């Protein structure tokens, strides 16, 4: 593959690491998928880069940039594998991490559990100082305490990272900055996270939680990015890696892990949502879609409206009760709204105490993986069921690089499911497939109801290693009539890294009645945020090429929570803007709460800015590379669709040989190297000009 310049993206998942190579001159893309290396994820990333460059004749020097998405920060929290962390806070607020908001995420659970604090009480230290919410110093900082407190944390508790979060530090950051300065001078080996830099806004518990998580993952994230950058340099890559952030933008990896690695949380799923938004805008007549990303461990659902995913200003990670809001560590970061479901190719199926078939949330992961991997796994998984049903080709998994063992899959299903349920192996396998589809559909229905959207007006965009296998069974349950399987569906999150803009989100606390805003102060804060964003992005964007989008957090006077209202582009920051914001708040409030706000004065509590390097959709044009002569029809395989029909001969197509405009009728399997697309009976499908495959499920939905 010869080209003057190409772009490389890598997405590290729990089971596989995906990589995409884009020829900038022609738009041709190449894909690869290698096994992840949980012990050191950078090894899998480097293996992926070497594999795709070597297999397609590209030189490392030709790579103009590398964008990376990773689960490193998320896994550190989920697995309790972060740094030994200490916390310094204002006297009297040592127990904020455990007190939380003194609420219960499930009021009927008598044995309710909360996630354990990442910093135990013995490593939480207090110092004398006190600031009001508006930045007035009530108690000056006692600097004599600082060194003794830090010395105890370092010498007695052997901490590697320090979180500094003082009461109302966002309003008067000088105290936090002074603590950080003294710490860095005496203990330069410590990594330090300071709340006004990580999460400079109101809400004490959420701000402490965010700062602690940032400190907890920072040493690991820094080591990982350092190893990755060193490895890429050893391969003669000319550029340092950029990294996908939780809000769907790309930032310079070294800068991110130095300042706020907490924003790397869920970067992979965010990349998938950005890819889905790109395909919704470029391949659908109406860019409203349900993004369905199913990999080896979990499935992620995100809603794309008008070609854009929803972004929230808070997120939760490390749930004590998986998938229950309020049971995790809250984070004050901008993040794409995702519904995460414990259903993936590696999800383990079992019979519970009531004799019912259940699937997940436990996963076989990458090691040992499903039984059919032949790596020692003995429990049946979704992948084992799909293999037994004929939806996967045992000899063409990962394009033939990995061979699956059907006998091991059948044995696992027979021993653990078929015998206890008094079913045949095929019936039990089909039950697993149906249960996991219904589980995902039920969660998606509830999510759509919460957002107030009618899914029947949406298409589905299915991707991930397992998503295209299960979309055909899930979409009719939701009343969806169209499913788009993008070109490169099995590595779509890596594609999302290429389509995402360089961007950073910033926030500044600002309290004022809407009718009393000092617009000169607002303008100064916005200028400061723009300058900060420009500095962060300076290594990956040219000066003067970025734009800034502004929004404000507003609430009714006396309310505890706010809604975010965008400031229209081009509007001048001044008195007339107040009326525009008032009308926009009324609309946003109604969308969130289902009714109009009360007739009371309004307040602004925060200013938000996104500094972004805009990217047009036509800057990334994906084209299928030539695959040589031959017909698209590879042959047929026996597949199991229901108990009445049993196994039936079903055509198998090579996706890379399907020509644009070609139309077919299901049932069928379309194979690509990284995934298989299952087309059910009574479903037509066709290929558009950009090699995306679109299935029309009108008959199936009516049935």
CA distance 667 to 607: 53
Nearest to 220 by CA among 263, 154, 161: 161
Domain range enclosing 576? 502-614
CA distance 37 to 46: 10
CA distance 325 to 313: 15
- pLDDT (0 to 100) of residue 248: 93
Mean per-residue pLDDT for 484-494? 91
Q: Is the pLDDT of residue 286 over 80?
A: yes
CA distance 192 to 175: 14
Domain assignment of residue 124, yes or no: no
CA distance 475 to 437: 9
- How confident is the model over 511-543, as pLDDT tens digits? 999 999 999 999 999 999 999 999 999 999 888
Tokens of 546: 């970025």
**Residues 184 and 106 sit within 8 Å (Cβ to Cβ):** no
Mean per-residue pLDDT for 262-268? 91
Average pLDDT, the chain: 90
The residues near 229 (Cβ < 8 Å, ≥ 6 apart) are: 240, 241, 253, 254
Nearest to 486 by CA among 31, 11, 15, 21: 31
Backbone angles phi and psi of 681, in degrees to 5: -60, 160
CA distance 44 to 52: 12
Mean per-residue pLDDT for 122-140? 95
As beta bridge partners, residue 463 has: 293
Eight-state DSSP code of residue 625: P
CA distance 277 to 511: 34
CA angle 395, 398, 401 (to 5 degrees): 65
CA distance 184 to 186: 6
Q: Highest mean pLDDT: which of 30-34, 93-97, 103-107, 448-452?
A: 93-97
More confident residue, 432 or 326: 432
Instruction: Please state whether beta strands 668-671 and 646-654 pair in parallel, antiparallel, or not at all (unpaired).
Output: parallel
- pLDDT (0 to 100) of residue 664: 92
Collapsing DSSP to helix, strand or coil, 194 comes out as strand
CA distance 141 to 94: 17
Tokens of 347: 């999800």
Q: What is the DSSP track for 391-412?
A: SS-TT-BGGGTB---HHHHHHH
Tokens of 79: 């697995």
Domain assignment of residue 582, yes or no: yes
Eight-state DSSP code of residue 250: E
CA distance 438 to 358: 11
**Residues 134 and 96 sit within 8 Å (Cβ to Cβ):** no
The residues near 97 (Cβ < 8 Å, ≥ 6 apart) are: 87, 117, 118, 119, 124, 205, 208, 209, 212
CATH number at residue 523: 3.30.1490
Domain assignment of residue 60, yes or no: no
pLDDT range class, residue 3, cuts 50, 70, 90 = very low
Q: What is the 3-state secondary structure (H, E, C) of 640-688?
A: EEECCCEEEEEEEEEHHHCCCCCEEECCEEEECCCCEEEECCCCEEEEC
Domain assignment of residue 77, yes or no: no
Tokens of 564: 């975010």
Count, residues in the chain = 703
CA distance 605 to 510: 5
Q: Is the pLDDT of residue 641 over 60?
A: yes
Residue at token pair 């001044």: 574
Domain assignment of residue 512, yes or no: yes
Residue at token pair 């996630």: 115
Specify the number of domains making up the chain: 1
Backbone CA torsion sign across 415, 295, 212, 96: negative
CA distance 679 to 239: 42
- pLDDT (0 to 100) of residue 631: 84
Collapsing DSSP to helix, strand or coil, 451 comes out as helix
- How confident is the model over 603-633, as pLDDT tens digits? 999 999 999 998 877 777 776 654 555 688 9
The residues near 572 (Cβ < 8 Å, ≥ 6 apart) are: none
Domain assignment of residue 523, yes or no: yes
CA distance 68 to 625: 23
Rg (CA), the chain: 26
Distances (CA, A) of 202 to 77, 96, 428, 561, 703: 23, 14, 52, 10, 51
Q: Is the pLDDT of residue 487 over 50?
A: yes
As beta bridge partners, residue 293 has: 300, 463
pLDDT range class, residue 656, cuts 50, 70, 90 = confident
The residues near 133 (Cβ < 8 Å, ≥ 6 apart) are: 168, 171, 202, 511
Q: Is the pLDDT of residue 703 over 70?
A: no
Nearest to 575 by CA among 628, 533, 518: 518
CA distance 414 to 376: 17
CA distance 144 to 166: 16
Secondary-structure percent of the chain, ordered helix, strand, coil, rounded to 5? 35, 25, 35
Backbone angles phi and psi of 216, in degrees to 5: -65, -35
The residues near 167 (Cβ < 8 Å, ≥ 6 apart) are: 89, 90, 93, 130, 131, 204
Domain assignment of residue 507, yes or no: yes
pLDDT range class, residue 155, cuts 50, 70, 90 = very high
pLDDT range class, residue 702, cuts 50, 70, 90 = very low
The residues near 543 (Cβ < 8 Å, ≥ 6 apart) are: 534
Q: Is the pLDDT of residue 322 over 90?
A: no
What DSSP element (H or E) covers 292?
strand 289-294
pLDDT range class, residue 319, cuts 50, 70, 90 = confident
Mean per-residue pLDDT for 175-197? 96
Backbone CA torsion sign across 200, 225, 213, 613: positive
């Amino acid at each position: 593959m010869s080209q003057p310049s190409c772009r490389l993206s890598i997405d590290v998942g729990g089971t596989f690491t995906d990589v995409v190579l884009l020829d900038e001159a022609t738009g041709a893309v190449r894909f690869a998928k290698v096994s992840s290396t949980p012990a050191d994820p950078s090894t899998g990333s480097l293996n992926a880069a070497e594999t795709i460059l070597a297999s397609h004749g590209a030189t490392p020097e030709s790579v103009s940039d590398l964008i990376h998405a990773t689960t490193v920060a998320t896994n550190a929290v989920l697995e309790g594998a972060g740094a030994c962390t200490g916390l310094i806070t204002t006297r009297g607020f040592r127990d904020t991490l455990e007190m939380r908001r003194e609420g219960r995420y499930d009021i009927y659970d008598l044995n309710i559990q909360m996630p354990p604090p990442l910093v135990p009480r013995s490593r939480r230290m207090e110092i004398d100082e006190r600031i009001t919410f508006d930045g007035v110093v009530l108690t000056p900082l006692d600097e004599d305490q600082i060194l003794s407190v830090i010395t105890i944390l370092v010498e007695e508790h052997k901490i590697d990272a320090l979180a500094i979060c003082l009461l109302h530090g966002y309003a008067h950051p000088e105290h936090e900055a002074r603590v950080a300065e003294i710490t860095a001078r005496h203990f330069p080996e410590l990594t330090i996270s300071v709340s006004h830099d990580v999460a400079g806004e109101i809400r004490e518990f959420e701000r402490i939680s965010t700062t602690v998580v940032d400190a907890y993952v920072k040493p690991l994230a820094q080591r990982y990015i350092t190893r990755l950058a060193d490895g890429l340099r050893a391969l003669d890559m000319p550029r340092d890696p950029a990294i996908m952030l939780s809000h769907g933008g790309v930032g310079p990896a070294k800068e991110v892990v130095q300042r706020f690695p907490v924003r790397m949380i869920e970067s992979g799923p965010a990349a998938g949502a950005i890819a889905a938004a790109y395909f919704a805008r470029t391949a659908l007549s109406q860019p409203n879609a349900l993004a369905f990303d199913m990999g080896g461990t979990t499935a992620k659902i995100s809603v794309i409206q008008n070609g854009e995913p929803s972004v929230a200003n808070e997120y939760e990670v490390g749930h004590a009760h998986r998938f229950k809001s309020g049971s995790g560590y809250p984070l004050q970061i901008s993040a794409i709204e995702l519904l995460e479901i414990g259903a993936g190719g590696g999800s383990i199926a079992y019979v519970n105490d009531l004799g019912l078939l259940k699937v997940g949330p436990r996963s076989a992961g990458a090691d040992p993986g499903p039984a059919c991997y032949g790596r020692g796994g003995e429990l049946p998984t979704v992948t084992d069921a799909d293999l037994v049903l004929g939806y996967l080709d045992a000899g063409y998994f990962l394009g033939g690089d990995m061979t699956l063992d059907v006998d091991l899959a059948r044995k696992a299903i027979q021993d653990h499911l078929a015998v206890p349920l008094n079913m045949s192996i095929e019936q039990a396998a089909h039950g697993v497939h149906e249960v996991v589809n219904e589980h995902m559909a039920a969660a998606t229905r509830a999510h759509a109801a919460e957002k107030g959207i009618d899914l029947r007006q949406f298409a589905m965009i299915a991707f991930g290693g397992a998503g295209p296998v299960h979309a055909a069974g899930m979409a009719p349950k939701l009343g969806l009539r169209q499913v788009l399987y993008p070109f490169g569906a099995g590595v779509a999150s890596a594609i999302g890294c290429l389509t995402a803009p360089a961007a950073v989100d910033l926030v500044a606390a600002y309290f004022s009645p809407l009718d009393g805003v000092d617009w000169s102060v607002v303008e100064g804060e916005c200028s400061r945020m723009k300058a900060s964003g420009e500095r962060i992005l300076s290594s990956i964007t040219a000066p003067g090429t970025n734009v800034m989008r502004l929004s404000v957090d507003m609430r009714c006077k006396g309310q505890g929570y706010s809604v975010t209202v965008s400031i229209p582009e081009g509007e001048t920051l001044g008195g007339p803007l107040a009326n525009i914001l008032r009308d926009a708040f009324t609309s946003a409030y109604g969308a969130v709460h289902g009714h109009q706000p009360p007739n009371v004065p309004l307040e602004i509590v925060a200013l938000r800015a996104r500094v972004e390097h805009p990217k047009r959709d036509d800057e990334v044009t994906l084209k299928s590379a030539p695959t040589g002569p031959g017909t698209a029809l590879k042959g047929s395989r026996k597949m199991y669709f229901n108990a009445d029909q049993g196994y039936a001969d079903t055509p198998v197509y090579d996706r890379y040989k399907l020509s644009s405009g070609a139309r077919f009728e299901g049932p069928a399997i379309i194979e690509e190297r990284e995934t298989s697309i299952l087309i059910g009976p009574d479903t037509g499908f066709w290929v558009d000009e950009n090699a995306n495959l679109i299935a029309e499920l009108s008959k199936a939905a009516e049935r």
